[in-house]
Amino acid sequence: MNHSNTLSKSFLYSIIIIVLGSISSFLVPIFSNMSIKDIYSSLSLPAISPPNWIFGPVWIILYILLGIYLANSNKHNVKLNWLMYIQLILNFIWTPIFFGTGNYLLASIIIVLMDVFTLIIFYKDRSNHKYLLLPYIVWILFATYLTISVFIMN
């Protein structure tokens, strides 16, 4: 595959993941009469909590990195690819579960599974592309802290 083809594929994967991630956030009002911003501001949050406005830009960057990773991931490792797809499905359902239904226990279970799958993928992937997952790993571990804190505090 030539370089131009790889860039096109990375761009396409990134756009698909950004769109799917955005769609998941649009599901929140279906389950709840509030927006994510309103729900977030109504929660009891731990001392180390980012402002609401930071989530959008961070997730766009992370989704772009995930798209590039998927476009360049190991094509021959079917198990890793399936783990990544399952992890992405969990990622996309976390938002409507957490913000839409307010089921913080289920959201905590989902995000811990995301952590586990992502760490397995990172550990098992032998390519250099796995390092694209590092910002995502750091962010979802922080999001795990936030999610479990919200579960405990609310």
Higher pLDDT: 129 or 21? It is 129
Residue 34 makes CB contacts below 8 A (sequence gap 6+) with: 28, 42
Q: What is the pTM of this model?
A: 0.86
Distance CA 24, CA 26 (A): 5
Across the chain, mean pLDDT equals: 89
Q: Which residues contact 78 (CB under 8 A, 6 or more apart)?
A: none
d(C-alpha 69, C-alpha 133), whole Å: 7
Number of domains in the chain: 1
- Per-residue pLDDT at 138: 98
pLDDT of residue 56: 87
**CATH code of the domain covering residue 28:** 1.20.1260.100
Domain of 145 in residue numbering reads as 3-153
pLDDT in tens, 87-117: 999 999 999 999 999 999 999 999 999 999 9
Number of residues that make up the chain: 154
Does residue 74 have a pLDDT over 70? no
Residue 1 has pLDDT above 60, yes or no: no
Percent of the chain with pLDDT over 70: 93
Q: What is the pLDDT of residue 40?
A: 92
